[in-house]
Structure 1
Amino acid sequence: MTVESTLNPSRTFDHLFRPGAIAGLRLRNRVVKSPNTTATSNPDGTVSQRTVNHYRRIGEGGAGLVMLEYTYVDDDASKSIHGQTGMSRQDHVAGMGWLVDEVHSTGAAVGLQLVHAGRQRFLGTAPMKSASTSSWDVAEMAFGVVPTPMTTEEIRGVVRSFGEAAARAHMARFDIVEVHAGHGYMITNFLSPHTNDRTDEYGGSFENRARILLEIVDSIRAHVPRTFPLSVRLSVTDYEPDGIQIEETVALCRLLEQHGVDVIHASGGHHALQEWEASSWYMPRQLHRWGWEKIKPAVSIPVIASGSLVTPEIADEILASGSADFVSLGRAMLADPDWAVKARTGRVLEIVPCIRCNDGCLERGLDQKRSVGCTVNPQVAEEGRFPLGTAATPKRVAVAGGGPAGLRMAAALHDRGHEVVLFEPAELGGALLHARGSTVKQDLAGLLVHLVHEVRRRGIEVRRARAAAAALAGFDSVVVATGAPQRAFTGPIAATDRLLGPGDVGPRREQISGHVVVVGGGFQGCETALRLAELPGVTVTVLERGEALMRGPEVKYDVMVLPKRLREAGVELRTGREVVAIEPNGVLARPAGSGQDGELVRADWVVLALGREPAPVALQDELAETGVPFVTIGSAQAPGRVYDALHSAYFAARLL
């Protein structure tokens, strides 16, 4: 059985690609590109060439409706982030019209989402205006700015600004306009009791908390023709115990329909509970389904489903079941803008999957005040600028290593016209193989399937052998993608028959039972512990030398949530514990740095998850001696994450 056998590449998705309609707007299919911030606009909020290129590329990929990223409505406090698009002035209309024409040229419809930042103003500057002084502690610590409660006069100004911005969207010939009333921005600050402690007509009862949104909708309806479709995106709940309840959301949707809203775009969460908004690999897929399925029977207008839908199989089933009328994909179309056209033409295995890592888009992108990026798609926000192209002189190239970097490199070199031979003595996939069979790693397992499929469908020769300098002498160039070894345990080891590395957990999951001790509480140890906790009859303890888990160069969204997920899964987390020996029945651990005798922590299995150490350079030294040109990529160059493997492979391939 091959890794591709987990998917059916010949399946069709008839429900996804039926034409649809929102009010009088006809759409070629039911696929909506969800609004994702790109931060590619000019400082004054006008679109740049990069912004236009990005959305045209999304349209070319086959979506029925392309929703432009959240766009600020006034020049006071509604702007949320650097590089954000604006519709606060007439000056914005010309550039927006240019973008609309470019997207229309692809056959897709295009919409504009309007927003007020509220307490989620990430510029780090005042004014920050919200329903109340309730702040997000992370933003407050980072910027030192606390929200100022909006006055009634300011509320009226913002209501008017939404209507005027919608009128400008209509002038720019957008097909639909959307109000962002979810994800913790200003309107949500009013809707949620968690962030609204007002005592005036905009606080307290549900009717009062909903007032500002209904006034915004009425303002938009007064500024644009009734035939201009209007959407509202909202969180089915903010997932705060004292926050928005689904019963209120359903009632709100009924009111929105009565006030002239044509479609509900259902999502969930807010930034303070980021795992529910931009859900990571350890969260369920389609995680807000329970909510939109309560909304749909309560209204007669269409419902757009949103939230980690990821695959065509999931998206099509949602539509086939009647759960929703349209599906909205955000990060999945950053990962592969051709998601829709590949699904429509039966090329499912060619879809580059979003692995929900939040590394390229957030951690190394927006959070660093840069434009958006993507771990699996190096061309996001730089569409057309770094094509692979065709090599001027085709070469015979050996790729040493069949992990993620080697697989991506082999496919890219083939596409550039080189003759490629891939050397890998073991099963293709390298460090990704550990993801197979685990629910919490299903997104990474999908990447494994894709990368292996891309090598095989190109007919690239794979030699089941370890690359040695003598065997590489006949090649014009060599790519070293051999990965990095696991860091070794330096204490005495008295038993090895039940001693595992993180990569052994997947292949031996059927054998593992009883109590497992994971040595190491970095990302590698924590994600391994979460995979182990899925197994029936298994209890897990993590021992970490440091005083806290995950203190290396980790993705902050994992650091914020993964320890909580481990505790919820029943994993015992013990920090400040140094493992000094592996015994036949467990491990000896003592307080870190104490010099005390160790206590035995009993274990049926022990997993050493100590991270990776720099890769040996023997192969490079041998190649240098023989004069064969070579390049080193991925973890063979420096231990890193999937982002580093795929990006280093792509950009190195362009130079060969």
Structure 2
Amino acid sequence: MNLLEPIQVGKITLKNRIMFPPMTTGYEERDGSIGTQSFNFYKRLAEGGVAYIVLGDVAPVNTVSPTPKLFHDGQIEAYQKLADALHVYDCKLGIQLFHPEYDVDALAELFRKGDMQAARAKLHHDMLHYIDEVTEEQLNTILEKMGDCVKRAYQAGVDVIEVHGDRLVGSLCSTILNHRNDQYGGVFENRIRFALDVVKTIKEYAPDICIDYKLPVVTVNPDGTLRGKGGLLIEEAVKFAKILEEAGVDMIHVGQANHTGNMNDTIPAMGTTPYSFMASYTKQIKEAVAIPVSAVGRIITPENGEALIENGVCDIIGLGRSLLADPDYVKKLEAGEGTRIRHCMMCNKGCTDSIQNRKFLSCVLNAENGYEYDRVITPATDKKKLLLWVVDQQVWKLPEWPKQKDMMSFYLKKKQL
């Protein structure tokens, strides 16, 4: 099976082709450090057999965003503890390096002063205009902070740095969001300049570390409208993928471009988007480069993943919600037929709904999710078979059968305990 075959990525080897892609979890501590809940979550995924885990949205600055952060040396120890725990299971740890599209320092100062009204106004303004207003000097400072973050990650034993090609980086690349007329705006070569500066900075601060790049693609809806704003249209994305490979990037992670205001565009609920909806775009990137390419986008079953690899769409499969539903997905795949994987039903009730409501990530199909090692569901010691008849909201148990004349009004449920 292709999914279980190892693959070489730069100087590292992934033991199989399944990764946990970057997701916002809400598990981190208030300062963005890796605490017990976050540690247990990722360790449990590694224990389940995943080859590569990426921590989403790791900031090199102290942002107001509820994401992981690595902006001072005191945080190195927690990341090192996590890296060591994952390495026990031969699982590689990546951090997704990102910077939000707002003035972090200015906003932090308003929050420090307690001027919430001004802070909200500033945040709203920045989300619309920061890409055009951020100065070259500020961008250089951000690069320095990113470099320091990368150095800390390398010291902690992190295996991979994934550049978050959306948010600030992707917005600068975008023809939709970038209206600059300096060296960071206008023509394609200018719009990708900062993204390449980020790659160059990583190589300067950690020459031996593996570099992954999340390449967000602005896709086209059936009605011809565009989906996503940050990132690039496919023609430029293919061109950029070749440049990234030449710049020394070891792997490309293709995803749907964000900045739409609609989380369903990137994490679609059941029935709203076809399975493997990024496949045609990912394949175009894959055909343009020789380095490994990973895919995401409503990939559910092993058959889905196998088909993508066999058809030359990608080399590595990213399973996000699927691994929330069943962290033992890979172990069960290794066990072969007869071992049932609990498949995500894409309800988005425990995962994306929780994040949008400022709660931590969870899954309605996995009661342990978010409580790993603290809440452990085990098989019942005494197994029973029970047949329940529900009649007009009244429950009957064997052998107390309802009367035959009421059978037409029955709704039968059979439940194995």
Q: In 2, are the aligned partners of 1:181 and 1:234 still within 8 Å (CA)?
A: yes
Within-5 A mapping of 1:471-620? 471=397
Q: 5 Å matches for 1:288-367? A: 288-347=278-337, 350-363=340-353, 365-367=354-356
Aligned-residue offset at 1:23: 0.9
Partner of 2:369: 380
What amino acid is aligned across from residue 235 of structure 2 in structure 1? E
Q: 1:268 and 2:256 equivalent?
A: yes
Deviation at 1:472, TM superposition (A): 5.5
- What's the CA shift for 1:285? 1.1
CA distance in 1, matches of 2:152, 2:395: 64
What does 1:8-47 align with in structure 2 at a 5 Å threshold?
Answer: 14-47=1-34
Return the letter of the residue paired with 1:210. I
1:390-422 deviation digits (Å, cap 9, x = unpaired): xxxxxxxxxxxxxxxxxxxxxxxxx22234333
1:418 aligns with 2:406: no
Measured after TM superposition, the shift of residue 237 of structure 1 is: 2.0
Question: What 5-or-longer segments of structure 1 have no aligned partner?
Answer: 1-13, 129-139, 390-414, 427-464, 475-484, 486-648
Question: Deviation per CA, 1:497-522, whole angstroms, max 9, x where unpaired?
Answer: xxxxxxxxxxxxxxxxxxxxxxxxxx
State the Cα deviation string for residues 628-649 of structure 1 (Å, max 9, x = none): xxxxxxxxxxxxxxxxxxxxx9
2-structure distance, mates of 1:317, 1:348:
21
- What do the CA deviations read for 1:134-166 (whole angstroms, capped 9, x no partner)? xxxxxx899755433211111111122222211
**Displacement, 1:469?**
5.8
Alpha-carbon deviations, 1:314-371, whole Å to 9, x = none?
A: 00111122221111111111111111111221257621111122211121x1122111
Residue 286 of structure 1, CA deviation: 0.8
Q: Over residues 439-487 of structure 1, what are the superposed CA-to-partner deviations in whole Å (9 max), with x where a residue is unaligned? A: xxxxxxxxxxxxxxxxxxxxxxxxxx9996664689xxxxxxxxxx9xx
Aligned residue number for residue 156 of structure 1:
140
The answer to whether the Cα contact below 8 Å between 2:300 and 2:319 also exists between their aligned partners in 1 is: yes
The equivalent of 2:189 in structure 1 is 207
Structure 2 partner of 1:115: 98
Q: Deviations over 1:357-392 (max 9, x none)?
A: 2211121x1122111111211221210112235xxx
Partner residue in 2 for 1:231: 212
SS in structure 1 opposite 2:286?
helix
Once residues 378 and 186 of structure 1 are traced to their aligned partners in structure 2, the CA distance between those partners, rounded to angstroms, is 35
Q: Is the 8 A contact 2:173 2:191 kept in 1?
A: yes
Structure-2 residue corresponding to 1:434: none
Deviations 1:217-243, CA, capped at 9 Å, x for gaps: 011111112x32101012122556395
Match of 1:394 in 2: none
Structure 1 SS opposite 2:3:
coil
Distance in 2 between residues matched to 1:356 and 1:118, nearest whole Å: 29
Q: Which residue of 1 aligns with 2:150?
A: 166
Mapped to 1, the partners of 2:30 and 2:342 lie a distance apart of 32
Letter of the structure 1 residue corresponding to residue 214 of structure 2 = R
Flag structure 2 segments of 5+ consecutive residues without an equivalent: 111-119, 401-408, 410-414
Residue equivalent to 1:175: 159
Q: Is the 8 A contact 2:59 2:69 kept in 1?
A: yes
Deviation at 1:193, TM superposition (A): 1.4
Aligned to 2:77: 94
**Cα pair 1:16 1:29 within 8 Å, conserved:** yes
Q: Which has the larger radius of gyration?
A: 1
- Cα deviation for residue 94 of structure 1 reads 0.6
Deviations 1:547-577 (A, max 9, x none): xxxxxxxxxxxxxxxxxxxxxxxxxxxxxxx
Q: 1:469 to 1:73 in 2, by over 3 A?
A: closer
Quote the Cα distance in structure 2 between the aligned partners of 1:386 and 1:203.
51
Could you say if the C-alpha distance between residues 33 and 158 of structure 1 is closer, same or farther in structure 2, counting changes exceeding 3 Å? same
Tell which has more relative contact order, 1 or 2 (C-alpha 8 A, sep 6+).
2
Does the Cα contact within 8 Å between 1:229 and 1:262 map onto a contact in 2?
yes
Going from structure 1 to structure 2, the CA distance change for 1:422 and 1:120 (only over 3 Å counts) comes to farther
In 2: Cα distance, 1:248 partner to 1:120 partner: 28
Retained in 2: the 8 A contact 1:164–1:220?
Answer: no
Residue of structure 1 in register with 2:243 after alignment:
255
Sort the Cα spacing of 1:316 and 1:348 in 2 relative to 1 into closer, same or farther, 3 A. farther
Kindly indicate whether the alpha-carbon contact (under 8 Å) linking 2:387 and 2:397 is maintained by their aligned counterparts in 1: no
Identity %: 27
Structure 1 CA distance for aligned equivalents of residues 280 and 39 of structure 2: 35
User: How far apart are residue 195 of structure 1 and its match?
Assistant: 1.1
The count of residues paired between Structure 1 and Structure 2 equals 381
Distance 2:368 2:397 in 1: 35
Looking at structure 2, the residues matched to 469 and 74 of structure 1 have their Cα atoms a distance apart, in angstroms, of 57
What's the TM-score, normalizing by structure 1?
0.54
CA gap of 1:43–1:348, structure 2 versus 1, over 3 A, is farther
- Normalising by the residue count of structure 2, what TM-score does the alignment of the two structures yield? 0.84
For the residues of structure 2 that align with 1:256 and 1:311, how far apart are their CA atoms? 31
Partner Cα separation in structure 2 for residue 146 and residue 44 of structure 1: 23
After superposition, what is the alpha-carbon deviation per residue over 1:263-285, rounded to whole angstroms, capped at 9, x for unaligned? 10111131414333112212111
Partner residue in 1 for 2:113: none
User: 1:192 is matched by which residue type in structure 2?
Assistant: S
Residues 468, 238 of structure 1: CA spacing in aligned structure 2 closer, same or farther, 3 A cutoff?
A: closer
Shift of the 467–161 alpha-carbon distance from structure 1 to 2, 3 Å rule, reads: same
- Look up the match of 1:222: 204
**1-side partners of 2:277 and 2:64: how far apart?**
26
The one-letter code of the counterpart of 2:50 is A
- Going from structure 1 to structure 2, the CA distance change for 1:306 and 1:468 (only over 3 Å counts) comes to closer
